[in-house]
Amino acid sequence: MSANLERLVEIALRDVLDPEMGRSVVDLGLIYAIKVTPGGSVAITMTTTTRGCPLAGFLKEAVAMAAGAVEGVRDVGVTLTYEPAWAPAMIAAE
């Protein structure tokens, strides 16, 4: 169940677009981890394209809202990290 919920959360996060890049946070490689507990708690680890990104708060909130809208998700925690540092090579090929 948790693997399926993890996949549904990932699909929902594809709708969260980075306003500067115009691509989803998933395609940009900004989502490092999605962990789901059997009780429906979701922990997401993500980054931004640059440390100190002015959109970090917006993106973190948008990711939490998108994940929280998935049926079966009880609560969401989003952690920002800069380890490893994001690089353009993390962008998915179109």
Per-residue pLDDT, 1: 59
Residue 47 and residue 35: Cα distance in Å, rounded? 15
Domain boundaries, the chain: 2-90
Q: Is the CATH number of domain 2-90 3.40.50.2300?
A: no
Global pTM reads: 0.94
Cα dihedral value 50, 25, 27, 77, nearest 10: 110
Tens-digit pLDDT profile for residues 33-85: 999 999 999 999 999 999 988 999 999 999 999 999 999 999 999 999 999 99
Residue 24 and residue 86: Cα distance in Å, rounded? 15
Dihedral sign for Cα atoms in the order 45, 51, 52, 56: negative
Contact 13, 31 (CB under 8 A): yes
What six digits make up the tokens of 63? Answer: 């990711």
